[in-house]
Structure 1
Amino acid sequence: MSTTALLLVLAAAVCHAGWNVVAHGVSRLGTPFLWWGAVASTVLWLPVVPFTGGLGASVGGLAVGAGVSAVLHVVYMTVLQRGYKVGTLSTVYATARGSGPAVSAGLAVLLLGEQLSATAVVGIAVVVAGVVATGLIDRRPTGSPAPRLLHGPSTASTPGAPGPARRRLDPGIAWGLLTGLAIASYTIWDAHALRTWGLSPVSFMVGVTLVEVVFYSASLGRRRGELVAVARAHWPRVLAFGVLSPLSYILVLTAIRTAPVALVAPARETSVVMVAVFGALVLREGSLVKRLAASGVVLGGIALLAL
């Protein structure tokens, strides 16, 4: 992967980590926050379109590409928000970002005809292993007390529950895996759309968020009355989301126009390093030393991808 593509992906990782921290802090708000996030993303980035390639080579391709991608992104955001409600930030985020690039790399080879060197395959495997380890190293058995989060429901066991603690599948892992499948789906489709129709990353992203507004509007239902309250209480988060979420993916879309998706998808997971450290330092989610060790594995894999 070229130096330029790698720098774009690393910058995207910083933005992605930032908006995921924002999203976790308001995970209980659900659709009203997602609606505002889509509106803010559209309004803030629409004026940039004329200066970044306009609508691209095919208006029809833009409509189809953005429309399908919006559906996949809505599924992704809905599953991710659900995961943040039932699991810790680090577990959900790391599991999703670990499984997503693994599936994306496989699909890129099968569907997009991309080819990978032996070093790249090893790098992808190392990144995925490190990312998954980051989310799993601090798992606790069911029935043991969990650290208190700043936001979100308690994961502690029910008082008086009989029997010794038993391990079971962390719901955060299950939802993280579903999120990873959603990530792979929109990653492969978006790469196909941009390459096939010669689309501009900015106009494509704006098209996606515009369609998302329609979807979220239809799903608000009785919660429409919460929109004003959410805006008043969380407008700084809405603005941060509106800037960082599209920017992170615009950078990725720019990178996959010239670099293989199979390499870009794992490389952007350096964001897990940042989220893992935030989770340990601020949310008190597990051991900082263990998370840094697992993050080091991720960085080692990134180094292999850069060769």
Structure 2
Amino acid sequence: MSSLGLALVLAAAFCHATWNVLVKRVGGGPELVWLFSVLSVILYLPVALWVILVERPFFGPWQILFICGSTLVHMAYFLFLQVGYRKGDLSLVYPTARATGPLLSTLFAVLLLGEHVTPQMAVGALVMVTGVAFLTGGFRKGRADVTTSLLFGLGTGVLIGIYTAWDAYSVSVLMIPPLLLDYVSSFGRSILLSPVALKRRELVAAHWRNHRLSLLAIAFFNPLAYILVLYALTFTPVAFVAPIRELSVPLTVLAGSLLLGEGHLKHRLGWSVVILAGMMLLIAA
């Protein structure tokens, strides 16, 4: 794996952890997804126009089809994640989703994109996913929120696996500029969720009034996290990118323990080291 690809994915992991913690802290539903999507459209408009004017990308029927599909899958992901965060624990939902996602992404990459996985890559990915699975120490009987968090985490992970493989094909084979793929997705969510936002305009106003800076940060870091990953996917196999993105897991769990008071800091630090060990195996492959 190239140093540039590694740098892009590591930066994406930091951005991803940041916006997830902020979304959990703000709380909300479809109206929150609509609000930060609209803000993202506004913030990234100059860059999107620059890409169109400079790169002059081609948009045929297949490109349009895959952009529409990406928009729908990402919207489902955001909505499902919001419900999971409202009903469950960040330190349970997020690691479960991030453990499921790379397994499915790698599987899809092998089956659909023809990528190859070496034994060392498989061991590294397995170590990382195992570390994620045991990171929280929360899967114990007697906790009412565990089953709900687990189910929402698994569902979110399935959507992560689908959109990672789908978007990898979009940017690497169909040559859709990564920034435009994510930008159109944000624009599409803004349109599709407008009726819900209109019905919940009081909640939208309250979110903006009480969490303005957090919303702007989400609107900036959420697209940036995925745009960096998409650019890495243009020259780096999904089998490398998907597991290394899991560095966002220890960052998010630590933030949940320290900033959101979810506890279990010592235990989670130990499993974070396991995740990092797996990442080193994967990078060295």
Q: Corresponding residue for 2:31?
A: 32
Partner of 2:59: 59
Partner residue of 1:43? 42
1:162 corresponds to which residue? Answer: none
CA distance in 2, matches of 1:13, 1:301: 15
TM-aligned CA deviation for residue 120 of structure 1: 0.4
2:189 aligned with 1:227: no
The CA distance in 2 between the partners of 1:69 and 1:218, in whole Å, is: 21
| CA drift at 1:225 | 3.7
Tell me how far 1:96 sits from its aligned partner. 0.3
Match of 1:188 among 165, 169, 179: 165
State which drifts further: 66-75 or 42-51: 42-51
* Cα RMSD (Å): 1.7
DSSP-derived class of the 1:59 partner: coil
Alignment of 1:296-307 (within 5 A): 296-307=273-284
SS of structure 2 residue aligned to 1:199: coil
Aligned ranges 1:1-307 → 2 under 5 Å: 1-27=1-27, 29-52=28-51, 54=53, 57-60=57-60, 61-135=62-136, 137-142=137-142, 170-220=147-197, 222-307=199-284
Task: Determine if contact 1:131/1:272 at 8 Å carries over to the other structure.
Answer: yes
| Change in 2 beyond 3 A, CA 1:143/1:62 | closer
Cα distance in 2 between the residues matched to 1:143 and 1:14:
30
Aligned amino acid, residue 154 of structure 2: L
Q: TM-score, normalised by structure 2?
A: 0.94
Structure 1: which 5+ residue stretches go unaligned? Answer: 145-154, 156-168
Higher helix share: 2
Report the CA distance between 1:139 and its aligned residue.
3.6
Gap change, CA 1:171 and 1:143, over 3 Å in 2: closer
What letter matches 1:82 in structure 2?
Answer: V
User: Could you give the per-residue CA deviations for residues 117-136 of structure 1, whole angstroms, max 9, x where no partner exists?
Assistant: 1100111101111111113x
Q: Spell out, residue by residue over 1:169-202, the C-alpha distance to the aligned partner (whole angstroms, 9 max, x if none).
A: 5210110000000001111110111122211111
| CA deviation vs aligned residue, 1:275-297 (integer Å, no higher than 9, x gap) | 11111222222321110111111
Structure 2 gap ranges (5+): none
**Using the alignment, how far apart are the partners of 2:151 and 2:32 within structure 1?**
23
Contact 1:12 1:247 in 2 (8 A): yes
Deviations 1:18-74 (A, max 9, x none): 0000110122x2112111110011111121124446565322354333211110011
Secondary structure class of the residue paired with 1:306: helix
Shift of 1:221: 5.7
The count of residues paired between Structure 1 and Structure 2 equals 282
Contact 1:194 1:257 in 2 (8 A): yes
